[in-house]
Amino acid sequence: MMPTTRAQSGLLLAAERRARVFDAVRHLAPNRRELVSRVFGINWLAQSVRSVAESWEAPKSHVDRMLVRALADLRLMLVERRR
């Protein structure tokens, strides 16, 4: 087995972080999971918050607040899983 280079180690760490984030997204409430997935292009084409709000027929300000709460939930999940 060949030793890994710094670049390979960096790619591995990035892939591990991405996997942790995807796993945390799966544990969000369904509406928050859909919102995060749509805005960040996870299994969807990335869309703007305005576009999501229009498709949900909801005020953009409401969807903005929902996204802020969803991202806060994700941060908390990721911190708790590191412990």
- pLDDT tens readout for residues 37-56: 999 999 889 999 999 999 99
Q: What angle do CA 27, 47, 72 make, to 5 degrees?
A: 40
Is 37 inside any structural domain?
yes
pTM of the model: 0.81
The structural domain count of the chain equals 1
CATH number of the domain residue 13 falls in: 1.10.10.10
Nearest to 70 by CA among 29, 22, 17: 29
Query: Dmax over Cα atoms in the chain, in whole Å?
Result: 55
Is 66 inside any structural domain?
yes
Is 28 inside any structural domain?
yes
Q: How far is residue 39's CA from residue 15's CA, in Å, rounded to a whole number?
A: 20
Residue 22 belongs to what domain range?
6-82
Is 1 inside any structural domain?
no
pLDDT in tens, the chain (83 residues): 556 687 888 888 888 888 898 999 999 999 999 999 999 999 889 999 999 999 999 999 999 999 999 999 999 999 988 77
Q: How far is residue 7's CA from residue 33's CA, in Å, rounded to a whole number?
A: 32
Nearest to 21 by CA among 50, 35, 42, 7: 42
Is 77 inside any structural domain?
yes
